[in-house]
Amino acid sequence: SNPSQGGQSGSGAGQSETSRRLESAIRAMDEMTEAMRDPAQREQLERAAEEAGRQLEGARDQIAEDQQQSLQQSFADMSDRADRMYENQIGMERELQDAVRRALATRDQTGEVTSGLSKDQEERLATEKREMTSDLQQLQRDIQKSAGQFREQTPEAVDQLNQARDVISQSQLEERLNVAAEYISYGAAPYIAGSESAVTNALNEIGERLRQAESDAMGNDFSDDDNVERTL
């Protein structure tokens, strides 16, 4: 199943429910306006006021729930993607280390200098590195977007997002991925294999930061009146 599709469906249902409640509140206030014109209809006025209050409260609760689901889904999605990148990188680092051993063995046995990889392996690994660069760029954009969107609601989680972004910058992760792709594609994989551990460690730390951000976001309480009132 695709969690993003489920989240979109749930969000749509939530918006529909919120709209229904707000429409009910408006109808109730219209009834209040009508009743105010006739003092004899005081009882109807009181009922309309109570109904308007209930519907507005329900709409506020629904908005709070929608916000919480949106926040949690965003943070969980970023954390999951970082974990997948880390797992993929572990596999690539292992494959490149194996290539170095093969290249050294071939040199010792025959004197021939090779990459330790077949052409198909070189093409696949270079493609995977480029795809990881693209995934990292998208993750950076989403981190920045979420940091701005949820800064007031959950500052602790956003602090973790900012730390993850710092790791990406300080480790020069995007540049390392691009260089690795180029070296691998030109048959020089052994020359960058030694720097793969830095890539793996950076992705591991990014994943840890995003998992902590997700944990902080899960503990956030959107029932606070101020948070909801800003939306209303």
**Is residue 88 within 8 Å of 180, Cβ to Cβ?**
no
Q: What is the mean pLDDT of residues 191-204?
A: 95
Other Cβ atoms less than 10 A from the Cβ of 171: the count is 17
Q: Does this model's pTM top 0.95?
A: no
pLDDT band at 120 (very low <50, low <70, confident <90, very high): very high
Angle between helices 42-110 and 119-149 (to 10 degrees): 150
Share of the chain above pLDDT 90, in %: 56
List CB contacts of 102: < 8 A, sequence separation 6 or more.
Answer: 114, 116, 117
Burial (CB count <10 Å: 0-12, 13-18, 19+), residue 93: middle
Query: Which range has the worst mean pLDDT, 13-17, 143-147, 222-226?
Result: 222-226
Query: Which range has the worst mean pLDDT, 14-23, 83-92, 210-219?
Result: 14-23
The predicted pLDDT at position 66 comes to: 59
Burial (CB count <10 Å: 0-12, 13-18, 19+), residue 38: exposed
The more confidently predicted of residues 185 and 53 is 185
Q: How far is CA 211 from CA 72, 202, 219, in A?
A: 11, 14, 13
- Cα separation of the two ends of the chain: 33
What tokens appear for 143 in the block?
A: 């981190």
**Which one, of 192, 189, 188, 139, lies nearest residue 167 by Cα?**
139
Give Rg (Cα) of the chain. Answer: 27
